């Protein structure tokens, strides 16, 4: 999945170019990623889940192949990483397709490992905590619970933040 630009053409012209970056080996040109596009795609109801899933695969690939690249983009403004994280957490409730859910899960864990920011961990854990307190439908919490299990597995000391 590497080499494919992660940009949503229809809306990208509205975005400040500081939100996009060319990732990967400089000599190879790399792939273009726009964080603002990704967030808008994730949050839009008009975009097919297969397309969101495709974008998530791209993000996952970037996190795997270009460690630190996404962190560089996101550290420009903490609000954007929070929004990005929040939109991924939201997908755990709205996505019904199992394969996409697994991808959301994977990207969230990868992203938190990449950011290594206590603020981000805290944000995620507080969000989950809020959901636990406001739980009217246990079924919709299952994907979040699965994600929490994966997170604790990947980052054993995350419990200390909580």
In the complex with Zn ion, the residue whose CB is nearer, 34 or 108, is 34
Minimal distance in Å, beta carbon 2 to Zn ion?
A: 19
In the complex with Zn ion, the residue whose CB is nearer, 40 or 105, is 40
Minimal distance in Å, beta carbon 65 to Zn ion?
A: 21
Q: Are 87 and 104 in contact (CB under 8 A)?
A: no
Minimal distance in Å, beta carbon 41 to Zn ion?
A: 9
In the complex with Zn ion, the residue whose CB is nearer, 17 or 160, is 17
Alpha carbons 140 and 124: distance in angstroms, whole number: 17
CA 8, chain centre distance (Å)? 16
Residue 61 has a CB neighbour count (10 Å cut-off) of 19
Name the residues that contact Zn ion, by CB under 5 A. 12, 15, 34, 36-37
In the complex with Zn ion, the residue whose CB is nearer, 70 or 92, is 70
Which residues partner with 21 through β-bridges? 33
Tokens representing 48 are 């097919």
Minimal distance in Å, beta carbon 13 to Zn ion?
A: 8
């Amino acid at each position: 999945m590497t080499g494919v630009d992660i940009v949503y053409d229809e809306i990208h012209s509205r975005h400040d170019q500081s939100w996009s970056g060319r990732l990967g080996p400089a000599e190879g040109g790399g792939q273009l990623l726009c964080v603002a596009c990704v967030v808008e795609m994730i949050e839009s109801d008009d975009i097919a889940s297969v397309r969101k899933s495709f974008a998530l695969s791209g993000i996952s690939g970037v996190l795997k192949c270009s460690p630190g690249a996404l962190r560089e983009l996101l550290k420009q403004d903490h609000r954007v990483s929070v929004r990005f994280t929040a939109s991924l957490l939201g997908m755990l409730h709205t996505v019904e397709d199992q394969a996409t859910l697994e991808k959301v899960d994977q990207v969230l864990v990868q992203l938190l490992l990449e950011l290594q920011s206590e603020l981000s961990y805290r944000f995620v854990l507080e969000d989950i905590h809020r959901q636990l307190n406001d739980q009217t439908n246990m079924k919709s919490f299952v994907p979040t619970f699965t994600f929490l299990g994966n997170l604790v597995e990947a980052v054993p000391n995350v419990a200390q933040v909580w």
